[in-house]
Amino acid sequence: MNVLVTGGARSGKSSFAERYAAHLGNSGIYIATAQPFDEEMAERLALHRERRDESGFAWQTVEEPLEVADYLRRYEPRGGEVVLIDCLTLWLSNWLFRYEQEADMEKRVGERIDELAEAVRRCAGTVLLVTNEVGSGIVPEYKLGRVYRDLAGRMNQRIAGVSDEVFLVTSGIPVELKRLAFRFE
């Protein structure tokens, strides 16, 4: 089963995903994509780690800023274990920074998104993925910001397409969207 959890910044996405993972399984692998480039980010990561440690749920943390698709392709589920990937938009940023100087940056990052979507689709275990909904705000004034916003929207659509459930979290309230989705039939 694949579950996408999306919402705005500080909406409660990660804490919901962690609680939902504990509801679905008896232990978890937490794939952290964030990189602590400054003190403030290091503090945020420490708070997330502390929250997981205090939850009573057995988490194993794997720090993987780029090769999440490779991890999922190698992953062999164990009974009752879930994988939680937090966060896809940070993962996307990591790839953008990796390819930023390349003429075909958008194409290369798009290929990474396709690889991830396919790895999620094929993964035999339960996978929860946390992402940010970035397309509801203003249009960024600089090109890289617009490219990031557009790629994030495409990525979220791709992952939602291979997910069994998609939750939108707003003000700490999760709503499952796929059940509510309009269908042309």
10 annotated ligand binder: yes
- In the predicted structure, residue 90 carries a pLDDT above the cut 90: yes
Q: Count structural domains, the chain.
A: 1
- In the predicted structure, residue 81 carries a pLDDT above the cut 90: yes
Q: Which DSSP letter does residue 178 get?
A: T
pLDDT number for residue 32? 94
33 annotated ligand binder: yes
Q: Is residue 185 part of a domain?
A: no
Q: State the residue range of the domain holding 39.
A: 2-176
Q: Is residue 34 part of a domain?
A: yes
d(CA 7, CA 177) in angstroms, rounded, equals 12
pLDDT > 70: percent of the chain: 100
Q: Is residue 184 part of a domain?
A: no
Amino acid occupying residue 109: V
- Catalytic residue of the set 2, 3, 29, 48: 48
122 annotated ligand binder: no
pLDDT number for residue 30? 95
Q: Is residue 10 part of a domain?
A: yes
Q: Is residue 183 part of a domain?
A: no
CATH number of the domain to which 123 belongs: 3.40.50.300
> Would you list the DSSP string of 54-77?
HTSS-EEEEE-SS-HHHHHHH---
131 annotated ligand binder: no
179 annotated ligand binder: no
Give this prediction's pTM: 0.94
> Which is higher by pLDDT, 40 or 116?
116
Q: Is residue 92 part of a domain?
A: yes
Q: Is residue 181 part of a domain?
A: no
Express each pLDDT in 25-59 by its tens digit: 999 999 999 888 889 988 988 888 888 888 889 99
Q: Is residue 65 part of a domain?
A: yes
23 noted as active-site residue = no
Classify burial at 156, counting beta carbons within 10 Å of its beta carbon; exposed 0-12, middle 13-18, buried 19 or more.
buried
Band of residue 173 on the pLDDT scale cut at 50, 70, 90: very high
Express each pLDDT in 133-156 by its tens digit: 998 888 899 999 999 999 999 999
Mean pLDDT in residue range 76-88: 95
